[in-house]
Amino acid sequence: MTPTLVFDLETIPDAHGLRALNGWDDSLSDAQVIEQARALRIEQTGNDFFPLHLQKIAVIGCVFRDDNGFRVRTLGEAGDDEAVLIAGFFKTIERYTPRLISWNGSGFDLPVLHYRCLIHGLSAPRYWDMGEDDREFKYNNYISRYHNRHIDLMDLLAKFNGRANAPLDQLAKLCGFPGKLGMDGSQVWDAWRDGQADEVRAYCETDVVNTWLVYCRFRLMKGELDKTAYDEEVALVRSSLSALNKPHWQEYLAAWG
């Protein structure tokens, strides 16, 4: 079995970057910098969504599926620096060369990882290989849009047509899965600022499980799994989550029914 890594980021505004680019001094706290920058952003653009290079990674959620089973977790430990999380993500790619699965990873998660990796001066040679080191990567790599080492499931299902994109939450629910629980991406900074880091990590974990389940349904549609194999994958997710015995998974399974 080819190892598969489903990933999702939760980000917060980059207070250090905003302070540096706007010339604001250290007398302002990170929260004050971000609130001031949000107000300015709304005035300029009508919304408070910051450019991708100013999105600081707070959480990286992952599902990892290989011959040893199904695992879901957030990378690193509570309080780890952003650079540690990013290094851990690319270290997994260096070690396993997994197939990457995302929902809007091409439009958001991977560009954010690129910028933040660059800012921190980190290295990710396996990820960036386009055939220079491994000849096979010339024809199938993580960077080219139409290769399958990274599958942006949202992009692929929409046939690479942005007007046809569907929200993960809605599509997951339409497929009979729980969808998002507790919050959405627009609420992450407020929750993080208010000390709810554990809740943000739990939310991110449920999102990658939603993505994995929709991907399993895609594999059934594609014919990569037959009905028996699909049912076994879904049953493995249920049993694995039940064994974790954590409140957010109990809530998730209850919503699944």
Strand 99-102 relative to strand 69-74, pairing? unpaired
Question: Closest by alpha carbon to 213, among 251, 186, 241, 246?
Answer: 241
C-alpha distances in Å from residue 124, one per residue of 129, 176, 239: 9, 37, 34
What is the Cα–Cα distance from 2 to 139, expressed in whole angstroms?
17
Model pLDDT, residue 185: 80
Phi (first) and psi of residue 140, to 5 degrees: -160, 100
Cα–Cα distance for residue pair 126/140, rounded to 1 Å: 12
pLDDT, tens digit, for every residue of 118-137? 999 999 999 999 999 999 99
| pLDDT given at position 245 | 87
Which amino acid does the sequence have at 121? G
Per-residue pLDDT of the chain (257 residues; tens, 9 = 90+): 899 999 999 999 999 999 999 999 889 999 999 999 999 999 999 999 999 999 999 999 999 999 999 999 999 987 899 999 999 999 999 999 999 999 999 999 999 999 999 999 999 999 999 999 999 999 999 999 899 999 999 999 999 999 999 999 999 999 999 999 878 888 999 999 999 999 999 999 999 999 999 999 999 999 999 999 999 999 999 999 999 989 999 999 999 98
For the chain, the domains span 4-256
CATH assignment of 4-256, among 3.40.630.30, 3.40.50.1370, 3.30.420.10, 3.40.190.10: 3.30.420.10
